[in-house]
Structure 1
């Protein structure tokens, strides 16, 4: 992988999209800014927790090879393997979700109750959603290992992590920031988006998983 951080960051985009396109990234943010009793505080709190969780996971896996005494070559091998295995798992999961899409539950109790969360609890939940979701863990692990394998300098590593987290967190950040900046202008479109995603979350997840899984397989195969 090129030592140029911009080239490395471009390789991180497919991994970031795994996170950004997931309904688990978008739906909570939309529900908070639309239905919470304190929408701006709740939305910003969730976004802060979400971005913090993504950053912690990515930095953790960035440093795992070093903590275990591994080399950049070892990191490269592991991140390629993770892309291959993770890509295959995402595709299989996506196909399974697509086949079960008509049986999928369109809403759940935690989604209905999200508007009653306090900002403190919302921040904690935002972190938990990131660090406890297997799909998010795989994406952040592959990103962290890829950055480490590129043997970048400290400043370039920070830039690459920042690029990954910014794209990965965009599914949560964009609706929250849109509401915070101009709630009256964006709330109606956000409500339509929320309703559509909630109706089609199984299909959206399935398509996103298959597409991103295929990209991971391709980059893992030709990155060797």
Structure 2
């Protein structure tokens, strides 16, 4: 079980360290409907992560497995391609950094967060986790890794759980902390939101670069 868990942890961190959803969750926690929208967003975020990794794991089942000590060129090629795509995203993120002294632009949908209901927040969380291109690449790479390296169904299930818990943690922690101590969390959450807003592009560029290189290395190792 060790190899497959080791494969999915960096990919889960790639989903977890996503400033935009974290900022969205914080804005919901600072809105008038904090409890309903934040919990709905968290549920949608978790469900989207699970759906993506499970779907890609099932799709990867059509790939020939072979013996554990045999090369897996198809899985290796797919992993390398996914790594290259992450490098492309890393370059795009780096180029999207705001100019020094300029205020970074937020997605237009964030302006409507104060008007969201719990149901719409759930849908937003699902869309951001399941259909975001970066998260889809992470989910695809995790699915290939789980199907290639897990020897039993139980190992696959554990790997999916580990991936989901880590990937959802950065949205779950502020939501749970706010629900537990809302009065003391408002100022730290607002400070975190400001920092993430100004460093979003740089964080994502470095993260995607590192994970892309790791995936390319793992893909080459499958040959």
| Fold match (TM-score > 0.5) | yes
Q: Does 23-32 or 38-47 show the bigger shift?
A: 23-32
Paired with 1:84 and 1:22, the residues of 2 have a C-alpha distance of: 22
Q: Alpha carbons of 1:171 and 1:83: their partners in 2 closer, same or farther (altered >3 Å)? A: farther
- Give the secondary structure class of the aligned counterpart of 1:71: coil
Structure-1 separation of matches of 2:188 and 2:6: 30
- In structure 1, list runs of 5 or more residues that go unmatched: none
2:64 is matched with which residue? 71
1:77, 1:41 → 2: CA distance? Answer: 47
Question: Who is 1:119 aligned against?
Answer: 118
| C-alpha distance in 2 between matches for 1:81 and 1:179 | 43
Q: Given the alignment, which residue of 48, 54, 74 partners 2:43?
A: 48
Shift of 1:207: 1.8
Counterpart position of 1:195: 194
Aligned to 1:172: 171
* Larger helix share, 1 or 2: 1
Q: TM-score if structure 2 supplies the norm length?
A: 0.87
C-alpha contact (below 8 Å) 2:86/2:137 kept by paired residues: no
Q: CA deviation at 1:89?
A: 2.1
Q: Which residue of 1 aligns with 2:161?
A: 162
Residue-pair matches, total: 217
TM-score normalised over the length of structure 1: 0.87
Structure 2's unaligned 5+ residue stretches are none
Gap change, CA 1:96 and 1:125, over 3 Å in 2: closer
In the other structure, the counterpart of 1:89 is 85
Match of 2:152 in 1: 153
Corresponding position of 1:21: 17
Q: 1:131 to 1:78 in 2, by over 3 A?
A: farther
Q: Does 1:7 align with 2:3?
A: yes
List structure 1 runs of 4+ shifted beyond 6 angstroms. none
Q: Does 1:98 align with 2:94?
A: yes
> Structure 1 pair 144/182, CA: closer, same or farther in 2 (3 Å)?
same
Asked if residue 137 in structure 1 is aligned to residue 128 in structure 2, the reply is no
**Could you tell me how far 1:99 is from its partner in structure 2?**
2.9
Query: What secondary structure is seen at the aligned counterpart in 2 of 1:102?
Result: coil
